[in-house]
Amino acid sequence: MIKAEQLSKKYGDKLAVDQLTFEVKPGIVTGFLGPNGAGKSTTMRMILGIDNPSGGRVTVNGKSYRDLAAPIQEIGALLDASAVHVGRSAWHHLNWQAKAAGLATRRVDEVLELVGLNDVAGRKVGGFSLGMYQRLGIASALLGDPPALILDEPVNGLDPEGIRWVRSLFRRFADEGRTVFVSSHLMSEMELTADHVLVIGRGKLIADMPIAEITQRSNLNHVKVVAPQAAQLALLLESAGASISQSVEHELIVSGITAPAIGEIAVQHGIVLHELAPRRASLEAAFMELTHDSVDYRAAS
């Protein structure tokens, strides 16, 4: 369980993380979403005691990370897969971590086997592909067999087979009752991985909800209605509290009311409907809508 209270981080006068309060619960995969520069990595570094908060606090299993006696046995992390000494072998890279954490050397072989790098264990990391770096980073997160995992953009650079493997790994971890906290800047990735999402933008928490709820709440959800008496129907719908965003000949784009409710109103007033189609906003679109106001760097269009 990871718990942040009013967590903030300032770099100079720029507020990178602005009073975040959230909980990451065990037994599910929690996605951490936001555009680049939103403060995801900074938040993760504060969780891991690498960066010190400027305000508020964050705890892992009730303790501040730096007070954990055996930290990598409580929470395993992958922050930056390329943060390895290129002249060191994969095996030694894991072995120094195992030694520092008081873990048996046997554990190094176990995690290398688990991520499928046992054949290249003795090779220098410098010759690894992007995907192999990522697997090595995941191996290092799993080293302490921790009840919680925290991973920053873990699927970056993985091939499709690797991505599927990572997703099933997270699922299995969550099903075993562990805490899994995964960041991404891609909503489409989260759609396939996460049960719950935290969305941040410019360091602020924008949403904290089950993934299904994001699309339900989106203003982009609407119903397309085609009716010969469209103008009459539009008036009736507006008086029922709906808003008409578009009206072209016989076609209406209606939001703020469900499709069944529109059908009922039409029947009551004897209006013929030719088409009644709910349009669910895609997660990608819902995400763009949520974070639209908080993107730091955007291409001119």
Give yes or no for a contact between 7 and 53, defined as CB atoms under 8 angstroms apart. Answer: yes
CB 117 to another protein: min, Å: 7
Nearer to another protein, 118 or 229 (CB): 118
CB 46 to another protein: min, Å: 9
Residue 5: burial class (beta carbons within 10 Å; 0-12, 13-18, 19+): middle
Nearer to another protein, 163 or 187 (CB): 163
CB 218 to another protein: min, Å: 36
- Radius of gyration in angstroms for the set of CA atoms belonging to the chain, rounded to a whole number: 24
CB 77 to another protein: min, Å: 6
Give yes or no for a contact between 209 and 197, defined as CB atoms under 8 angstroms apart. Answer: yes
Nearer to another protein, 24 or 84 (CB): 84
CB 288 to another protein: min, Å: 31
9 Cβ neighbours under 8 A, 6+ residues apart: 15, 16, 17, 39, 42, 43, 46, 51, 53, 54, 203
Closest CA to 168 of 143, 196, 146, 138: 138
CB 173 to another protein: min, Å: 8
Closest CA to 72 of 8, 141, 164: 141
Give yes or no for a contact between 290 and 201, defined as CB atoms under 8 angstroms apart. Answer: yes
Which residues of the shown chain bind another protein in the complex (CB under 8 A)? Answer: 45, 48-52, 65-74, 77, 79-80, 82-89, 92, 95-97, 99-103, 106-107, 110, 113-117, 119, 132, 135, 140, 142, 144-147, 162, 165, 168, 172-173, 176
Q: Which tokens sit at 238?
A: 């507006």
Nearer to another protein, 105 or 246 (CB): 105
CB 264 to another protein: min, Å: 50
Nearer to another protein, 35 or 137 (CB): 137
User: Could you tell me the end-to-end alpha-carbon distance of the chain, in angstroms, rounded to an integer?
Assistant: 42
Report how far residue 290's alpha carbon sits from residue 150's, in angstroms, rounded to the nearest whole number. 24
Closest CA to 152 of 73, 66, 86, 82: 82
Nearer to another protein, 69 or 300 (CB): 69
Closest CA to 123 of 167, 96, 148, 86: 86
Nearer to another protein, 6 or 168 (CB): 168
CB 249 to another protein: min, Å: 56
Sheet holding 55-60, edge to edge: 14-24, 2-11, 55-60
Nearer to another protein, 172 or 292 (CB): 172
